[in-house]
Structure 1
Amino acid sequence: MTPRAEYPRPHFDRSHTWSSLNGDWDFRADADQHWDRTISVPFAWETPASGIEAHWLPVAWYRRRITVPAGWAGQRIVLHFGAVHHEATVWVNGTEVARHVGGYTPFEADITDALREGEQEILVRVSSPADKREIAHGKQRSIPRDDFDGVCFTPSSGIWQSVWLEARPATHVAALKLRPAEGLDGIEVEARVEGPAPATLRLTVRGHGTTVEIPVSDGAAPQADGDAGHAAPQADGGVARAVPQARGRVVRTVLQIAEPRLWSPEDPHLYHVDAELVSADGTDRVAGYTGLRRIEVSGEDLYLNGQRLFVRGVLDQGYWPRTGITAPDDAALRRDLELAAAAGYNLVRKHLKLEDPRFVHHADTLGMLLWAEPAATGRFSAESVAAFEAQIAPMTERDGNSPAIVIWGLYNEEWGLDWDIPGDPAKQEAAARAYDLLKALDPTRPAVENSGWAHVKTDLLDWHYYDESAASWGRTIAALLNGDQDDFPVPLGPDYVVRKKLTGSPSQPLRGLPNLNSEYGTGFTSVQRGWQLRWQTQEMRRHDRLAGYVYTEMYDIEHESAGLLDFERRPKDLAGVDPAHVNATTTLVLDVVPVAPGRDLLSETGRVTVPVRISHHGTDSVSGHLHTAWSPVFGPAPARAGTAGERAEAKPFLLGAPAEVHAELPDGWTSGRLHIALVSDDGIVLARSAVDVDTHIAPVIGDDPQARP
């Protein structure tokens, strides 16, 4: 059975004429004399799934013999690689056809002129240096080690995304860029045509009655820029002609849509675009798609299609137990998104990795928002900056059609900038230049130039804040969002804490941009992590000024046990905390500073009064009565909402006024979990939270005196 047999490039689809080359390839290390091993492509050679499990192998070779389908005669044959870490040289029948540097970006080679009669031989040499500090490598471990080695994982070397053949005419569609029109009533199309022959391009929006026929310049005399051509659907269903804007072989037009249906997480509607190019070289057909949606920054708020957006995100690093940075199958990519949605998240931040394009595709179809970013380098040098920047254009070209991607990330916590943006103008310039490069390619999405620390040029003011103390967490979050302070503590070692500023340059404003805490989450056990998830998240929901958060992280990876799920994507014991309740559109904010897991609130008598507020990020106001019920400490929410109490309400994106809950431990209980639910007038549970009450008021180990009520 061929591994990863699905078509690998859904945003630029030529699947009617392709052949997968995944599966068994001959394999040998550089020093070996014989091809005596077999590797399963596309799994990195360190992984069990590859069949090799070789570690710190600097150079290796792949070989495969193939036969080109007879039906492809007369066309150009193109060999595609989704991603190869890190440097690849490719020969076909002894002729070098490609050389590519960069472990996360795709490349291709027209191999037609190297083909012979009968069987063909493909040979690939891959170099994957142990010292990765000046190359883009994300979370792969390096020797010598990176400064961030403690959060790095097993390297993933060699071919780690799909390999395939395609057939196309000599004159063909080389790229198809699709973006929503300004009024969200059409699709802006930019088609790049390559090849020797004059051609006619015909575009169709599938299933919506819009057809456009576009004559393409032969490229002999590039035209001056002008207004883009527009084509509207004809009432009689006929063909509308457009006068395109062209420069060389690039053609632009707008496909108008009479009754547009917008893409959103609630309705992830996609518009498919078929492109057919007819020339003397033959007919080329490709397909792409996009969604009609707009992501905007307006002051300190984010808006999606004109409606306020609160980001409820989770970090996903894209690793699997036996397959490394390659998903074991296509279903695993989709499953990770479904697990995030089930936990209440509306956005996934794919961390320091250009993920498999099919992950982006599944997000598009499921309606999961994405924060996408390239792989990090490990030290600052001219070479490492160039390696990092080389990923930006391929990233935006490959994934830019996706409606799910609403945020582009770039550098992360000054990785590859030696953790010193504030102290070095050259590093400030590198971060700002990365931002400018990206925004020149895609001005439609907000971009973050250095996630978490020391911003110099950004559309979002995000920060990474970790704190084991619930009391100091609440105080610091409030101070950051109230404007009382512009820095926060960052532990860089067991006894080494620095204060990181939000900005690393006087030109970067501290106000007037959306604030996001884009990494948080603490606790050494799963019980502690569940506790911190509940209380830390509710403290952020207390502040209307916040534009969102990204929890770290969805699942464990190797030695890193920070996930809500284990590495196999199985649920962990979160002591009765349901992430879906924590991350719901409507949730409860309790005016309690908790003491410790299992002892949120101390009461000698067992009687408690808890002020409760509603945080609501929907489009309409919500209201209902607060209901209470008891269970043992760490117990899950009961099926029934319990005893009704005071009424509470909230308007969208405004924290509600407090309503009090009064309760007493059942007779004979010395501790218990008080479940609090907001129930609508028609009996629907709108939000849930809980507080653990303990009558033993003696301090516990690690108790923060300031946390005691």
Structure 2
Amino acid sequence: MQLGSLWSTDVNESGLSGIQGTNALYSWFATTFDVPSSFTNDRVLLNFGAVDYEATVFVNGQNATFHRGGYFAFTVDITDYLHVSDTNELLVFVHDPTDSDSYVIPIGKQTLHPSHIFYTPCSGIWQSVWIESAPSNYITDLYIAGTADGQVNATVSSSGNSTSQVKVEVVDRNSSTSIATHTGTVNSPFTFSVPSVSPWSPDSPTLYNITVSLGDDEVGSYTGFRTVSRGIINGVQRPLLNGEFIFPFGTLDQGFWPDGIYTPPNREAMVYDLQTLKKVGFNMLRKHIKVETALFYQACDELGLLVFQDMPALRPLQTETFDNCSVATILPDDDQQAEFARQLDLLIVQQRPFTSIFSWIIYNEGWGQITSYYPEFGLTDRVKQLDPTRLVDSTTGWYDHGAGDYSDNHHYANPQCGSPFYSIQSSPYDPTRIGIQGEFGGIGNNVSIDHLWNVQAAIDTINQTYEIDTTLEAWNYRGHRLLGELLDQVAIWSCSGGIWTQTTDVEGEVNGLMTYDRRILRPDVAQWQADISDLYSAAASRTNASTALPSFSGYSVLSPTPYPSEYPESTPSWSPNGFEYSATPPAPFTSTTSETSGASPSAYSTSSSSTFSACVGHVSERIQYASRECVECVCADYISEW
């Protein structure tokens, strides 16, 4: 529903916000709303998908709650602050200390000074905000973990301390037939079994609907039945899905957008990226030091894409200079490390219901990783305690001291996966853990300015990309050769997975499968499908004792496919004209009337008043554990005015 207007300046850096401010250390967001007459239950809940970084929420002038952490959802009961029969005022005060003083916070790749692999920051409310009606004792959290053989571990939490009975019903999505019903005690874990389930996998992403009832409250959700583990196959540690060796191969997926930065223009845009990965042949993605909206993970569940989920990094690669002119890397103190651990808990607890998440990643390339002792061991134990159903990649790249389930190598020029050779920065392969290539590839391809992030600081750092090819023929040939090298390491050594950098270009990085505007898809899809299929075949062949080099098409010298003089452009169904947003200059992409005529009016319109941060996803889509029939969305559409 429409909620008035935003009265703030310099709060959001994105084009979609209508503001494009910078250095938003402090911001105020304001709106008004009425409580719908349909809200006949006892309590009214206010939900935030994510606010970066600290949020203090006021309802009708009263302090309702405070939340810290830019990637995580929070809910506050605002019933006692409301004017039920009158208009209500909602204020949100945001403190976002990006790059500020001594603040060492989970920040990912945001920086006030974007350059090459670090990007424009995102301040304020960047995910959905909505209100909902609930009874006095309502469901606050639902965790259901189903295994491939139909065993279910469940915990249903409520707002009260009751020990009431809660009913869980499992429903077949195709037939709408109830296949299992179980009654347990709220606020306590319980188990039950579901007969004859179809296990979830990338090739068969079967999901089952869930209905949970507690007194007058009912929540709709879903789950998939799958088992993640590790095991030794012919002497090699392997990742297992449903008891079988799976070779996870995907892209580094950063989730940045030219018009919304952290916020995609709509759900279709997110799904387009994921469908493109599936089309090229990938079965996985690594969500790189960002946490997405629930709709993103729901799409991965439905499409069958495994997710390696990063914890957002602490002030990566930043230094401080002391009075004696010495320079040191900024690392967390004890309190900041404790806050990192607390937010890691939030990541696990909030995202663990999603079936597609296969592994948790704690540290990336030593960013924010204390070296005077090894905190990753304790953090790994904590993650395993919160979620024993998944694997943990404690340190992806570089500072690996033996924690977790993976021996993870980063090397762009040549993969070094599960092999006896490694670069100085990396550690040697540890055969007691799973060998994986956590990052490689990163081949660049410069394009015309029409498809680049047209900001000078980004343009100036394009040449820092690891390797830049000037034609798509060369780009695809280099990709073919690197995939062939990885194929050797799968067939001969102990490589068990890989992650190619990356899904899309991001600002000054031009090494994506797609350009930043998603207009150009670089891969020769048939070639990449064949090369990736060879990786899967090589991995499957290693389930027997033979280590002979198989004869795969990937070992032949591929003749590059010639491209026309013009770059081939993809046509995303959700936005055939790309991301042009001329209404809020100086947006990076300019447009003409003819270019934008096909864009969605609801996604790209503007008015004289500023627009609130994009609202990602209709809450009424009943996603995961936060949906009820009586939900009312504060943002009427994916992009709504405040």
**Fold match, TM over 0.5?**
yes
Give the conservation status (yes or no) of the 8 Å contact 2:284–2:308. Answer: yes
Matched, 1:140 2:110: yes
Say whether residues 1:152 and 2:118 are aligned partners: yes
Q: 1:62 to 1:389 in 2, by over 3 A?
A: same
Question: Does the Cα contact within 8 Å between 1:542 and 1:655 map onto a contact in 2?
Answer: no
**Hey, what does 1:71 align to over in structure 2?**
38
CA offset digits 1:530-586 (Å, max 9, x no partner): 332211111111123100110001110111111121001233556x57553354323
Alignment check: 8 A CA contact 2:538 2:550 kept: no
What is residue 631 of structure 1 aligned with on the other side? none
The structure whose residues are more often strand, as a share, is 1
**Are 2:91 and 1:123 equivalent residues in the alignment?**
yes
Task: Work out the CA distance in 1 between the residues paired with 2:183 and 2:560.
Answer: 67
Distance change >3 Å, CA 320–CA 78, structure 1 → 2: same
Alignment of 1:647-686 (within 5 A): 657=549
Greater C-alpha Rg: 1
- Residue 88 (structure 1) shift: 0.6
Aligned to 1:101: 68
- In structure 1, what is the Cα distance between the partners aligned to 2:419 and 2:70? 42
C-alpha displacement at 1:49, in angstroms? 0.6
Decide whether the 8 Å contact of 1:78 with 1:165 is kept in 2: yes
Which residue identity lines up with residue 217 of structure 2 in the other structure?
D
What is residue 606 of structure 2 aligned with on the other side? none
1:318 aligns with 2:298: no
| Partner in structure 2 of residue 177 of structure 1 | 143
Contact 1:360 1:404 survives alignment (8 Å) = yes
Distance 1:304 1:197 in 2: 37
Q: Secondary structure at the match of 2:285?
A: strand
Aligned twin of 1:515? 435
Distance 1:196 1:177 in 2: 18
Seen in structure 2, the aligned counterparts of structure 1 residues 53 and 542 have a Cα distance that, compared at 3 Å, is same
Change in CA separation of 1:286 and 1:692 when aligned onto 2, cut-off 3 Å: closer
1:502 aligned partner: 427
Report the residue type matching 1:302 in the other structure. Answer: P
Kindly indicate whether residue 354 of structure 2 is the aligned counterpart of residue 402 of structure 1: yes
Displacement, 1:692?
Answer: 6.8
Correspondence 1:209 to 2:185:
no
Matching of residue 464 in structure 1 with residue 444 in structure 2: no
Question: 1:551 pairs with 500, 503, 515, which one?
Answer: 500
Q: How does 1:568-647 map to 2 (within 5 A)?
A: 568-573=517-522, 578=526, 580-581=528-529, 583-586=531-534, 616-617=537-538
* Aligned 8 A contact 1:531 1:577 in 2: no
Aligned partners of 1:442 and 1:657: how far apart in 2? 38
SS of aligned partner of 1:569 = coil
Amino acid at match of 2:510: S
* Paired residues of 2:249 and 2:282 also in contact (CA < 8 A): yes
Change (3 A) 1:92 1:658: closer
SS in structure 1 opposite 2:298?
A: helix
Label 1:387 to 1:651 Cα distance change in 2 as closer, same or farther (>3 A). closer
Amino acid at match of 1:558: E
Q: Distance in 2 between matches of 1:573 and 1:400?
A: 33
SS of the aligned residue for 1:26 comes to coil
Secondary structure of 1:386's partner?
A: helix
Q: Quickly say closer, same or farther: Cα 1:158–1:327, change in 2 above 3 A.
A: same
Q: Is the 8 A contact 1:47 1:324 kept in 2?
A: yes
* Residue identity in the other structure for 1:324: I
Amino acid at match of 2:468: F
Q: CA deviation at 1:501?
A: 3.5
Kindly provide the CA deviation profile for residues 7-53 of structure 1, in whole angstroms up to 9, marking residues without a partner as x. xxxxxxxxxxxxx67x76413249xxxxxxxxxxxxx7101111111
* Candidates 269, 273, 279, aligned match of 1:336: 273
CA separation in 2, counterparts of 1:24 and 1:540? 55
Q: Which moved more, 1:443-452 or 1:577-586?
A: 577-586
Structure 2 counterpart of 1:167, one-letter code: S
Cα 1:76–1:511 shift into 2, 3 Å? same
Indicate if the aligned counterparts of 1:65 and 1:122 stay in contact, CA closer than 8 A.
Answer: yes
Q: Aligned partners of 2:4 and 2:96: how far apart in 1?
A: 20
Partner Cα separation in structure 1 for residue 59 and residue 199 of structure 2: 46
Scaled by the length of structure 2, the TM-score of the pair is 0.73
Q: Secondary structure at the match of 1:251?
A: coil
Percent identical residues: 27
Q: Aligned pair in 2 of structure 1 residues 252, 212: CA closer, same or farther (>3 Å)?
A: farther
From 230, 234, 239, the equivalent of 1:297 is 230
Q: Give SS of 1:109's match.
A: strand
Q: CA deviation at 1:288?
A: 2.1
Amino acid at match of 1:554: T
Question: Corresponding residue for 1:524?
Answer: 468
Residue among 278, 283, 296 paired with 1:346: 283
1:106 alignment partner AA: A
8 Å CA contact retained: 1:616, 1:653: no
**Whole-Å Cα distance in 1 between the matches of residues 283 and 437 of structure 2?**
15
Kindly state the Cα deviation for residue 253 of structure 1 after the two structures are TM-superposed: 2.6
Structure 2 counterpart SS, 1:206: strand
Residue 453 of structure 1: how far off its partner (Å): 1.4
Mapped to 2, the partners of 1:199 and 1:443 lie a distance apart of 27
Q: Report the counterpart of residue 496 of structure 1 in structure 2.
A: none
Residue 133 of structure 2 aligns with which residue? 167
Given that residues 211 and 219 in structure 2 are in contact (C-alpha distance below 8 angstroms), is that contact kept between their aligned partners in structure 1?
Answer: yes
Distance 1:526 1:360, change over 3 A: farther
Cα distance in 1, alignment partners of residues 295 and 528 from structure 2: 26
Q: What amino acid is the match of 1:580?
A: W
Pair 1:651–1:251, CA change in 2 (3 A): closer
Once the two structures are superposed, the pairs formed by residues 378-393 of structure 1 within 5 Å of their partners are: 378=315, 379-382=330-333, 383-393=335-345
1:433 lines up with 2:378 in the alignment: yes
- RMSD, aligned α-carbons: 2.8
CA shift in 2, pair 1:94/1:481, >3 Å: closer
Task: Show the counterpart of 1:240.
Answer: none
Residue matched to 1:563:
512
Aligned residues of 2:418 and 2:496 also touching (Cα < 8 A): no
Any gaps of 5 or more consecutive residues in structure 2? 316-329, 444-466, 562-642
Shift of 1:381: 1.8
- TM-superposition CA deviations, 1:598-646 (whole Å, max 9, x none): xxxxxxxxxxxxxxxxx71476x7xxxxxxxxxxxxxxxxxxxxxxxxx
Q: Give the 3 Å change call, closer, same or farther, for CA 652–343 of structure 1 in structure 2.
A: farther
> Residue 170 of structure 1: CA displacement?
1.3
CA distance in 1, matches of 2:273, 2:190: 36
Offset, 1:431: 2.0
